[in-house]
Amino acid sequence: MMKDETENNTEMETPIPRTEAMEVVEQDNINDHLTPELRSQMIKFIASPVHCKLFVEKISMKGDSEYRKAEIILARETNKKPSTLEYYVHYVEFNKRLDEWVPFKRLDFNRGVEFPKPNAKKTKKNGHLDTSSTGSRASTPSHSVKKRQDSEANTPGGGQDDIIGEEIDKETTAEADEEFSKEQEIEKLRTSGSMTQNLSEIARVKNMNRIQMGEHEIETWYFSPYPKEYAYCDTLYICEFCLLYYESHKQLERHRTRCQLQHPPGNEIYRKDDISFFEIDGRKQKTWCRNLCLLSKLFLDHKMLYYDVDPFLFYCMTKRDELGCHLIGYFSKEKESADNYNVACILTLPQYQRHGYGKLLIAFSYELSKVEGRTGSPEKPLSDLGLMSYRAYWTDTIVGFLLSTSEEVTIEEISQKTAITTQDILHTLQSIGALKYYRGQHIICLGDKVVEQWERIQQKKKRVISPEKLDWRPIHFTSSQLSTLIATVLSTITQPGEGETWIVGQTVTISIAPGKKSETVNLFLDHDRSIIIGGGDIENGKTIHFLVPASAVNPNGGPAMLIAVYRIERYLNSVDIVNINIV
């Protein structure tokens, strides 16, 4: 009995933040609007809200509202005066792109609160985050950057959108070997945009609820690493032409009086009716491309943000009126793709979805591949809606081609005519049941339902890409354009000879190249382009030393020359360069 009283006293002595929510509870108690049981339940919730489930008022963009059961993911104390609490909620059985920050007044305690089980992992600081203190921008983790292919394997999954990725499990357990608590990790990610240590948390918390872009007010879906000062913006105001962002509508209006841009800052390579495509080089238009990536990350869950837009070309689709060319969507592609991808990332902005623009973007990417004389494919894996969009295009194109010819064709011939890879063609034919086994060989046989569905689609009015309207030639980049000379090897204890490899533990001395003030040097293997050791900043006239690690030995038995003279853009993104790109 004494033990129970002690526990109760300890619970009552737990400090509860003096917030608007607490004042509401106390005021309602004075007015006898709350029963003692309900008030006790609310106090318990306020003290530790994370992972609790209760009904929350969901308000649509039209102003309609309904109550849905939701789980509290995080609580934060706002910077408003007086201080208020906001809760980041995930609506049960709904896609996580509907997650949002809600004020205390939208929580419904009358239907009860489902508290987490006692053995559930408790969060620190009673589930609250102290975000009032200011600090410098969180730095990027100092561990070595891996190959881009390795990063893709660890990319968190996506929700229902038009791009590439797979959904991760909501109950993912990324708690082993954590360097930060979840609250610290999420807060650092939310306010500073640093790369996360726990990749599962990237898609959990978004930092703003909506954006205003032109005449459209759009609910955001996911987190995007906008600067810290915009972390508490309920609505972010974005210029639809230059993509600069502001905290208030008045600031945006003042900017619009000075902004002269009326279309994406690149070359117009296609125009038909009111639709235009612009090609933008990430190296030449860094700021605009970074802003585009920040904007698109609000609607992409599975994509990682990297720090360099230089290796990418951006193809932006716009709709033209008397005010200018309004951005509809875009796709990016590597200037030199080792895997023959023709799309790195693709997005149709939410206000233009369900109008056929996504398929138009896909069609345009394949039209470029035809001009290049090669087949192409989007980066894999595809998200659910991304797969649906591409499968719809592949099916429409392949079935249309088969119906247009009376001769026998092979998979390779279909690939040559459509620029779709043979793997994607086989995948599509299997998905529509068109691959049959007949007399010891596989044949393509279109069913009546497939043909009828294709004919129904053709009857609908839709936009198509007209190749004759495309004014574009493939850009060929030289090795000097893809690489940047940043340093030279001055000396080594033992220089590897032909057919030899580096000696583990030997010292390599690096000096900055002439004309370079400060660069970051990384050593990586020439035979497989994998980074084996992170470098550091060096200045002109100074040197930096490396010890050759055991991983420098070529597992294939051949020479494993350490490269320190080139920074290959498509393989290496320096951790100290704060540029952003969705890959």
pLDDT tens figures, 406-434: 888 999 999 999 999 999 999 999 999 99
- What is the average pLDDT across 253-278? 94
Pairing between β-strand 377-378 and β-strand 341-343 as defined by DSSP bridges: parallel
- What pLDDT is attached to residue 550? 45
pLDDT of residue 340: 84
Q: CA 456, CA 4: separation in Å to the nearest integer?
A: 71
How confident is the model at residue 370, as a pLDDT? 94
In this structure, the number of other CB atoms found within 10 A of the CB of residue 554 comes to 15
Q: Is 379 tagged catalytic? A: yes
Residue 110: C-alpha distances to residues 116, 199, 418 (Å)? 18, 36, 59
Q: What's the pTM?
A: 0.63
188 or 336: whose pLDDT is higher?
Answer: 336
Res 383: pLDDT: 66
Provide the token pair at 229.
């000062």
Exposure letters 29-40 (e unless 16+ CB within 10 A, then b)? beeeebeeebbe
Mean pLDDT over all residues of the chain?
A: 70
pLDDT at 114 over 60: yes
pLDDT band (50, 70, 90) for residue 582: very low
**Residue 441: pLDDT band by 50, 70, 90 thresholds?**
confident
Q: How do 435-438 and 441-444 pair as beta strands?
A: antiparallel
> What pLDDT is recorded for position 170?
33
Share of the chain above pLDDT 70, in %: 58
Ranges 62-71, 342-351, 533-542, 574-583: which has the least confidence: 574-583
- pLDDT at position 327, please? 97
Mean pLDDT is lowest, of 220-224, 253-257, 265-269, 379-383, for 379-383
- Inter-helix orientation angle 411-418/422-431, to 10°: 110
pLDDT at 133 over 50: no
pLDDT score, position 63:
77
Overall average pLDDT of the 65-91 stretch? 82
Q: How confident is the model at residue 442 (pLDDT cuts 50, 70, 90)?
A: confident
CA–CA separation, 325 and 328 (whole Å): 9
**3-class DSSP state for residue 253?**
helix
User: Which residues lie below 8 Å from residue 415, measured CB to CB, with a gap of 6+?
Assistant: 375, 421, 422, 425
Torsion-angle region of 155 (φ positive above 0: left; ψ -120 to 50: alpha; else: beta) = beta
Radius of gyration for the chain, computed over Cα atoms and rounded to the nearest angstrom = 28
Q: How far apart are CA 525 and CA 532, in angstroms?
A: 7
The residue among 270 and 193 whose pLDDT is bigger is 270
Per residue in 478-530, pLDDT (tens digit) is 554 444 333 333 333 334 444 444 444 444 454 444 444 444 444 443 333 33
Query: Phi, psi at residue 132, to the nearest 5°?
Result: -80, -30
- Is 349:219 a contact under the CB 8 Å cutoff? no
CA atoms within 13 A on the CB side of 492: 20
**Which is higher by pLDDT, 204 or 507?**
204
Mean pLDDT for the stretch of residues 116-131: 52
Least trusted range by pLDDT, from 225-229, 372-376, 547-551: 547-551
Whether the pLDDT of residue 149 is over 90: the answer is: no
Q: With CA atoms as reference, report the closest residue to 17 among 126, 142, 166, 138.
A: 126
* Confidence label for 247 from pLDDT (cuts 50, 70 and 90): very high
CA 334 to CA 295: how far, in whole Å?
Answer: 19
Count CB-CB contacts under 10 A for residue 566: 18
Nearest-CA neighbor of 370 among 474, 450, 272, 463?
474
- Binned at pLDDT 50, 70 and 90, residue 24 comes out as low
Confidence of residue 304 (pLDDT cuts 50, 70, 90): low
Question: From the candidates 379, 455, 468, 500, which is the catalytic residue?
Answer: 379
pLDDT at 463 over 60: yes
Residue 544 has pLDDT above 60, yes or no: no
Q: Are 546 and 523 in contact (CB under 8 A)?
A: yes
- pLDDT higher than threshold 80 for residue 13: no
Across 269-308, b (16+ Cβ under 10 Å) vs e yields bbbeeebbbbbbbbbebbebbbbbbbbbbbbbbbbbbbbb
Would you say 77 and 83 are in contact if contact means Cβ atoms under 8 Å apart? Answer: yes
Q: Read out DSSP for 7-19?
A: HHHHHHHS-----
- Say what the pLDDT of residue 83 is: 53
